[in-house]
Chains A and B, each alone.
Chain A
Amino acid sequence: MTARPGAARRLWRVYGGYAVGFASLFLIWHLASVYLVSSVLFPPPTAVFRKGLELGRNGVLLEHLSASVQRILTGFIAGSLLGIPIGLAMGSFRPVRKLLEPYTEFLRFIPSVAMITVAVIWFGIGEASKVFLIIYTTIFIVIINTAAGVSAIAPNKIHAAQALGATRTQIFLHVALPATVPYILMGMRLAMGNSFTTIVAAELIAANEGLGKMLWDGRMFMLVDDIFVSLVTLGFLGFAVDRMFRWSIYTFAGKYSPAT
C-alpha cells in the first residue's frame, strides 16, 4: 500500500520534528559513548537496545515494567479520586479550606521520597507501601489544582446561573464542576510526572521487582547495560504516558480548554 503524498506530508509535519529530535538524541549518545568516553560504564545505544531486546524476549523487562506501571496507575487513580472531591470542597467552602489547608500546606512540603522509610516501616516492602507513596505524591497536587480551579471561576458564571434559575446544587454540578475540569486535568498531569520520580525512588530502596529495582540490581551486580535499559524504558514510558494524557485532554476535554 502506498500512502498518498498529502498524508505523508501531514505525517511528517506532525511527527517529523519528534523523529529528527529522537534520532539526534541517540546519535549524540552514540558519538559520546563510542568516541568521547569509550568505557564499559557508558554503553552506546546499540548495546542498550540489544540488551533491551534480550530482556524483552525473556520477559524480565516486562515483569519490571508492569510492576511499576501497575503501582503508578493504582496510586495515581486512587490519589486523584480522593484529591478531586477534597479539592472541590476546599475551593467551594471557606471553612473546609481553613480546616484542611494546614494538612495540605504542611504535608506537601514533605517530599514523597522522604516518606519512603515511613511507608516501608508501616506497609512493608510489598505493593501497599508503593501505592501509598504514589497516592501521597498525587493527592496534594490534585487537591491544590482543583481548589485553585474552583476559586478561579468567574463570579459572572455563577451569577448567570443564578439568574437562570439554577439551584446551589445545580450550580455546583453544572457550572463549578465543568469549569474546574481543566485545572483538575492539569493537576493530574503534574502528579503523573511526580509519580515516576516517586516509584523509582521507592523501588530503589525496597522492592522485589520494578524499574527501580532493576536499576538497583544493575548497580549491585555491575550490569551497566541493564541500568541503561531501565533508564531508557523510563524515558519512553514517561513520554508515552504524558502524550496519552495530552491527547486525551484534547480529544475528550478540548471543550474544557482553560481559554474560555
Chain B
Amino acid sequence: MSLVSFRAVQKTYRSMQGVDYPAVEGFDLDIEGGEFFCLLGPSGCGKTTVLKLLAGFEAPTAGQIVMESRLVTGASRDRGVVFQGDDSLFGWLTAVENVEFGLRMRGIGKAERRRRALQYLQLVGLTGQERKYPAELSGGMKQRIQIARALVNEPTMLLMDEPFAALDAQTRALMQLELANIWHTTRTTVLFITHDIDEAVTLGTRIGVMRAGPRSDVKGVIDVALDGARSRTDDAFLKYYKQVYEMIRDEVAASVARAGS
C-alpha cells in the first residue's frame, strides 16, 4: 500500500471570463513511504497544481487523493510545505520564531519549542541567525528557514514546490547538496516539484515526468538507482539525465509551441 495515491485526479480552473482550463486530468500516481519523488515537467504543465491538491490547499474537481488510507480533504500538519518564494515566511517573526510557529499553534511550551526549533535550525545550517528577521536574510537562508519550519513539525511528508528555483546557481547547488544530506538524516518522504532535470537526477530516488498541459498526467516514472553522493560527471548520472531528457523533450517542445501560439 503506497503512502499516497492519486486516483484519476482532475483539476479544472475557471477563468474570470468563465472559460474552463483542465490543468490535470486522469492523473494517477503512487508515492511510497521514505522515497524522494521528483515530479518533473515543462513550465505550465500543472506540477504546482498537483502539489496544491496533495497539500490540501485546493480540492480536485474529480478523482481522489488518498494518504495513509484517508482521503485528503484539506491542509494538515502531516504534509509540510516548502514554497518557491519567500512570501510564505512570517516577516514579523524572527527566524527561530518562524520555525516555532507550528509548535506554538499546537500549544507546546516555550522552552520545549525553542529547544526543538534550534535543533532544526542547526540541521539546516542556520545556527547564529536565529534572531534575525527574514528580510535580513539571503534567499538561500530564507529557504532554509522554510525547510526547518516544515520539518520541526515532523510531518509524514514534505512537499517542496521548486524551492530552489529562485536562487542563484551556486546557492542552488549547495542547497541541493544539503537537502540530500537532510533527507538522508530524516528519511522523510519528499515530493519535490522541479523543471530542472539536473536537480531531479541529483535528488530523486524516483522521477515522474509530466506531459505538457492542458490535461496533463504522468508520462512515465524512472527509478534512479543511485545512492549517496551523486556526481554530475558520473556515467550513471548522465545515463539517467539522458533518459529523463528524452522523455521530457517532446513535452517541452509542446509547451513552448503552445505558449508561442
Which A positions have Cβ atoms within 8 angstroms of B?
Answer: 154, 156-157, 159-167, 170, 174-175, 178-179, 181, 255-257, 259-260
Contacts and interface: CB of A to CB of B under 8 A. Distances in A.
Contacts of B149: 160, 164
A97 to B, nearest CB: 18
Contact of B89 (A174, A256, A260): A260
B88 A159 contact: yes
Interface in B39-61: 55-57
Interface of B: 55-57, 74-77, 79-81, 83, 85, 87-93, 101-102, 104-106, 133-135, 146, 149-150, 153, 159
A154 B159 CA distance: 19
Given A156-B85, A164-B77, A167-B105, A257 B91 contact: yes
26 contacts: A156-B85, A156-B87, A156-B88, A157-B89, A159-B75, A160-B146, A160-B149, A161-B101, A162-B57, A162-B74, A162-B75, A163-B76, A164-B80, A164-B101, A164-B102, A165-B76, A165-B105, A170-B105, A178-B92, A179-B91, A179-B92, A255-B93, A255-B133, A259-B91, A260-B89, A260-B91
B101 A257 contact: no
A157 B101 CA distance: 12
B236 to A, nearest CB: 35
B101 A174 contact: yes
A178 B98 CA distance: 13
Contact of A181 (B76, B92, B105): B92
B105 A166 contact: yes
Given A160-B146, A164-B80, 15 more contacts: A154-B87, A157-B89, A159-B55, A159-B83, A160-B81, A160-B88, A162-B75, A163-B55, A164-B102, A165-B76, A165-B102, A165-B153, A170-B105, A174-B104, A260-B89
A21 B92 CA distance: 35
B77 A163 contact: yes
A174 B77 CA distance: 17
B132 to A, nearest CB: 11
Contacts of B146: 160
A151 to B, nearest CB: 15
A159 B52 CA distance: 9
Contacts of A256: 91-92
A178 B93 CA distance: 10
A163 B105 contact: no
* A-B pairs with lowest CB-CB distance, top 9: A260-B91, A165-B77, A162-B75, A164-B102, A156-B88, A154-B87, A160-B88, A163-B81, A260-B135
A170 B90 CA distance: 14
B95 to A, nearest CB: 12
B77 A260 contact: no
Nearest to B58: A159
B150 to A, nearest CB: 7
A161 B89 CA distance: 9
A163 B80 contact: yes
Given A159-B55, A159-B88, A260-B135, A174 B79 contact: no
Contact of B133 (A163, A181, A260): A260
Nearest to B74: A162
B96 to A, nearest CB: 14
A156 B102 CA distance: 15
Contacts of A165: 76-77, 102, 105-106, 153
B105 A156 contact: no
Contacts of B104: 174
Contact of B79 (A163, A175, A255, A257): A163
Contacts of A179: 90-92
A255 B136 CA distance: 11
A167 B88 CA distance: 17
Contacts of B81: 159-160, 163
Nearest to B75: A162
A167 B107 CA distance: 12
A259 B135 contact: yes
Contacts of A257: 91, 135
Output the residue of B75, B77, B83, B133 with the most chain A CB within 10 A. Answer: B75
Contacts of B150: 163-164
A181 to B, nearest CB: 7
Contact of A157 (B55, B90, B133): B90
Contacts of A162: 56-57, 74-75
Nearest to A163: B81
Nearest to B135: A260
Contacts of B74: 162
A152 to B, nearest CB: 11
Contact of A260 (B56, B76, B134): B134
Contacts of B106: 165
